[in-house]
């Protein structure tokens, strides 16, 4: 982020207080920061705090009533490499979507030469209101990148989607924005992600807690580097859209195997992060299983080893990466898997590390490669873990 010029627009929502953390992260990373506040946001965050931390005067009004100096919105537009509006309130969103221009932030938006990113923040009912959705679609259609609000506890006490993305997430989005590159153009990468659901009957299944976040973070990172990605995902709440992405949604391990079989031979590399069920019910009942006996025994049979299949079919040029999630003896099992499945390297995550593994936004990994190098990484966000894995992969992809 060294030397990058970040213009922050702050509108009047309670999440404005979190921008302090974002400014500190940006300054620490070597970025230059200027801030424009809407008059309403000054009720939530002090302009003095923002000016002190960003090391620059803040813009609020078109002109300073004390000395008559004019804040030049056109100059802000020329100065910035990126304009991030966070938090974006429903009111400012409405004005962005419809050309409103009654404060400095809005005039600057209309004068912008650089890309604009927004992070909406509002109460859950406001966030899902059709008007808000429509306005977000309008600005997205105008080329604005929207960082969706997150789910969780809201200032109102209600729980739902509407929380502004955390400052760390905003920071990572800005980093990702500047990181866009073409270093993987022409490559085709296959990724498996998420859990598999193994049907017991028409309404029940055996599954696991995998959220798919790791695989989706890998796909996002690789897409930003210009590669084509085939993402084969078991059932998750996640979604991803990109011109270079083929997203194949599957349910069971067998479905996943068929999708992998279709795409593996024309892939340069495969990253298998899916938590595939090892077993599936031998018989899938045609009708819903009735509650009758005290005990119910379900016979399970082994699922195909999808990664093992890809390893057995691997050509000289193809690179194959597996994951291992173990509760004990992680390294020894990983070594065994690396050779048995013919992998180039394996990513280990241990459930013993707090904050790592299923459902978390963070992960702590080690990488063991086929030259017997063993590297451990710090606990960090899955987006940053993805970055480290992709950097490792890049060394193998010639």
Q: Binding residues for ligand C5P, per CB under 6 A?
A: 192, 253, 272-274, 276, 303, 305-307, 322-324, 337
Query: Per the residue annotation, which of 208, 255, 342, 370 is the catalytic one?
Result: 208
Provide the minimum distance between the beta carbon of 211 and ligand C5P in the complex, in angstroms, as a whole number. Answer: 14
Provide the 10 A C-beta neighbour count for residue 148: 11
Question: Which lies closer to ligand C5P via its Cβ, residue 123 or residue 344?
Answer: 344
Question: Which lies closer to ligand C5P via its Cβ, residue 227 or residue 324?
Answer: 324
Helix, strand or coil, per DSSP, at residue 314 = coil
Provide the minimum distance between the beta carbon of 276 and ligand C5P in the complex, in angstroms, as a whole number. Answer: 4
As a residue count, the chain comes to 398
Question: Which lies closer to ligand C5P via its Cβ, residue 27 or residue 238?
Answer: 238
Cα–Cα dist 59/76, whole Å: 10
Question: Which lies closer to ligand C5P via its Cβ, residue 198 or residue 228?
Answer: 198
Provide the minimum distance between the beta carbon of 324 and ligand C5P in the complex, in angstroms, as a whole number. Answer: 5
User: Do residues 309 and 257 make contact, with C-beta atoms less than 8 angstroms apart?
Assistant: yes
Provide the minimum distance between the beta carbon of 322 and ligand C5P in the complex, in angstroms, as a whole number. Answer: 4
Place of tokens 């500190």: 24
Provide the minimum distance between the beta carbon of 374 and ligand C5P in the complex, in angstroms, as a whole number. Answer: 17
Place of tokens 């003095």: 48
Residue 226 in tokens:
């210009």
Question: Which lies closer to ligand C5P via its Cβ, residue 150 or residue 326?
Answer: 326
208 is catalytic: yes
Residue 69 in tokens:
């100096």
Cα–Cα dist 345/342, whole Å: 9
Active site residues: 208
């Amino acid at each position: 982020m060294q030397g990058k010029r970040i213009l922050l627009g702050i509108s009047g929502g309670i999440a404005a207080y979190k921008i302090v953390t974002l400014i500190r992260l940006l300054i620490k990373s070597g970025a230059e920061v200027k801030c424009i506040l809407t008059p309403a946001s000054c009720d939530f965050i002090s302009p003095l705090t923002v000016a002190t931390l960003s090391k620059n005067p803040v813009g609020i009004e078109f002109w300073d009533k004390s000395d008559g100096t004019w804040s030049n919105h056109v100059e802000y537009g020329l100065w910035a490499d990126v304009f991030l509006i966070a938090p974006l309130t429903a009111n400012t969103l409405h004005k962005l979507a419809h050309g409103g221009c009654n404060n400095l932030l809005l005039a600057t938006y209309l004068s912008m030469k650089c890309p604009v990113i927004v992070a909406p923040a509002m109460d859950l009912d406001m966030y899902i209101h059709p008007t808000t959705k429509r306005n977000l679609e309008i600005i997205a259609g105008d080329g604005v990148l929207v960082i969706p609000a997150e789910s969780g506890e809201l200032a109102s006490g209600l729980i739902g989607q509407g929380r502004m993305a955390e400052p760390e997430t905003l920071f990572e989005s800005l980093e990702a924005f500047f990181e866009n590159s073409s270093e993987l153009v022409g490559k085709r990468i296959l990724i498996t992600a998420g859990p598999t659901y193994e049907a017991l009957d028409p309404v029940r299944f055996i599954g696991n807690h995998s959220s798919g976040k790791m695989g989706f973070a890998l796909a996002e990172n690789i897409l930003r580097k210009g590669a084509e990605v085939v993402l084969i995902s078991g059932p998750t709440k996640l979604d991803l859209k990109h011109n270079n992405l083929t997203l194949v949604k599957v349910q069971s391990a067998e479905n996943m195997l068929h999708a992998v079989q279709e795409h593996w031979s024309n892939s340069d590399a495969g990253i298998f992060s899916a938590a595939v069920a090892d077993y599936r019910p031998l018989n899938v009942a045609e009708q819903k299983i009735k509650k009758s006996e005290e005990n119910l025994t379900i016979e399970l049979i082994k699922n195909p080893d999808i990664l093992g299949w890809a390893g057995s079919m691997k050509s000289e040029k193809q690179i194959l990466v597996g994951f291992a999630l173990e509760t004990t003896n992680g390294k020894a099992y990983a070594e065994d898997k690396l050779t048995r499945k013919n992998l180039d390297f394996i990513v280990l995550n241990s459930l013993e590390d707090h904050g790592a593994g299923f459902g978390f936004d963070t992960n702590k990994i080690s990488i063991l490669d086929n030259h017997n190098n063993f590297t451990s990484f710090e606990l960090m966000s899955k987006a940053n873990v993805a970055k480290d894995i992709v950097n490792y992969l890049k060394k193998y992809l010639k």
